[in-house]
Amino acid sequence: MIEVRNLSLTLPEFALDDVSLSIDTGEFFALLGPTGSGKTLLLEAIAGLKDIHRGKIIINGKDVTKLKPEQRNISIVYQDYALFPNMTVKDNINYGLRFKKNVRGAGSRFDLLVEMLGISRLLNRYPHNLSGGEQQRVALARALIVEPDILLLDEPFSALDANTKETVQKEIKKIHSALKTTTLMVTHNFSEVFSLAGKVAIIHRGIIQQVGSIEEVFKTPNSKFTARFVGMKNIFPLKQMNGKFNFKDLLEQNKHHHNGGSQYYVGLRAEDIVVGNERLETDYQLKGIITAVSNNGIYSEVKVHTDSADFTAYLTPNRYFELELAENKPVFLGFNKKDINLIRE
C-alpha cells in the first residue's frame, strides 16, 4: 500500500501543502484536479523524482522517503510515453530488466503482457512507426514487466482519440484485474475516473480537498470548489434557499457541519432535478420559466428561472422532446430531500 503522510513540497511558484493519502494494496486510485493543481508534482514526489521538504512516504510498510527512485520499485508512465526512439518495441519493453536482474519469470511476464496488450506484431518496430495507442501499450508493458509494487500513470489518455482511449482503458482495466498492481492515476477527466478507479482524491492548489469513493465524492462533495469541479451545476447560498424552502431536516442532519453563516450552500446535481408540464411528485417543487435549452445529443440542458433561484436540469433527449420544451415556456421543477447537499465555501 501507499501512505503519504503530511507531505509538503515548496517550489518558487507552487507548493504541495500537508498532503496525506492512503491507497490500499491492489487498489486503482485516481488523483483528480484541474491543470496546475499539483497532480504530477505529487506523483513525482512519490516516485522519488522530487525531494520533499516535510512528511513521509511509506510503501508496503517501508519508509522510502529518503530512497532514490530506483530503490522504490515504482514504475511511472508519462503522458508522452517517453519511449527510446532508437530501440525496437521489444527492447523498449525489456529495458528496465537491465537494472533489475531479480525479476522472476521475466520471459513469461513479457509474453503475458504482449498478449494482453495485443502488441505481438509490433515487437520489431520502432516508436516513430507506432500510433499513439500503440505507444501507450508499449509504455505500459515496459512499466509492468519489472513487477513494480506501484504503477503511476500521469494523464495516460490525454494524447489519445476517443475510440483509442476507450480501447486502452479496457485493456488497463483488464491488466489491473489480472495483475492487481497498486495503481495511482492522475487525471482531470471524469470519465477516466468512472471507468477505472475505485477511489478518488480531489486536489486543488496543492491541497487535498476530499477523498472517498467515486459515488461519495461525486454525489456528496464537501466544498464549493469540489462541487463545481465534479459538475454540480446548482449551488446556492443556504440563506437564499432556506427562505423559500423548509430545510430544518437538512440542517438537523448536518448540524455538526453547520455554523449558521452564509458560507454554507445548498447543492443539487442537474441530473437530480425533475422538469415537467404538470405538478410533480417530489419533496420540493417550484414554478418557473425556461430561459435556455441546449442539446448535445447525449442529454439536454435546460435552464429554468424561478422566484428563488435559476436552476439547471439535465434531461434525456426523449424526455426533452416528450415535454415539448422551449424557451419562455412555463414548467414545474422539482427535487427530493435525498438529493440535497449541504456544502461549505
Query: For 235, how many CA atoms within 13 A lie in the half-sphere containing its CB?
Result: 21
Beta strands, E only, 72-181 = 74-77, 150-154
Query: Taking the complete model, does pTM exceed 0.75, yes or no?
Result: yes
For residue 90, with 0-12 CB atoms within 10 Å meaning exposed, 13-18 middle and 19 or more buried, which class applies? middle
β-pair partners for 125? none
Sheet holding 284-295, edge to edge: 274-276, 330-335, 284-295, 300-306, 310-315
Residue 270's identity, in one-letter code, is: A
Which regions in the chain score pLDDT beneath 70?
101-105, 242-262
Give backbone dihedrals phi and psi of 20, rounded to 5 degrees, phi first.
-130, 130
pLDDT at 261: 47
HEC states along 91-113?
HHHHHHHHHCCCCCCHHHHHHHH
pLDDT in tens, 35-61: 889 999 999 999 999 999 999 999 999
Provide the pLDDT for residue 80. Answer: 85
The interaxial angle of helices 162-179 and 132-144, nearest 10 deg, is 20
Tell me the helix, strand and coil percentages in the chain, rounded to 5: 35, 30, 35
DSSP annotation of 222: S
For each of the domains in the chain, give its residue range(s) and CATH number, in order of start: 2-219 (3.40.50.300), 234-344 (2.40.50.100)
Q: Please write the tens of the pLDDT for every residue from 104-160.
A: 667 788 999 999 999 999 999 999 999 999 999 999 999 999 999 999 999 988 888
Report the DSSP beta bridge partners of residue 183: 28, 151
DSSP letter at 8 equals: E
Q: Looking at residue 104, what is its pLDDT?
A: 65
Partners of 212 in the β-ladder:
200
Output the nine-digit C-alpha cell for 8.
509538503
Cβ contact 329:275 at 8 Å: no
Residue-level pLDDT at 249: 55
CA distance 217 to 9: 26
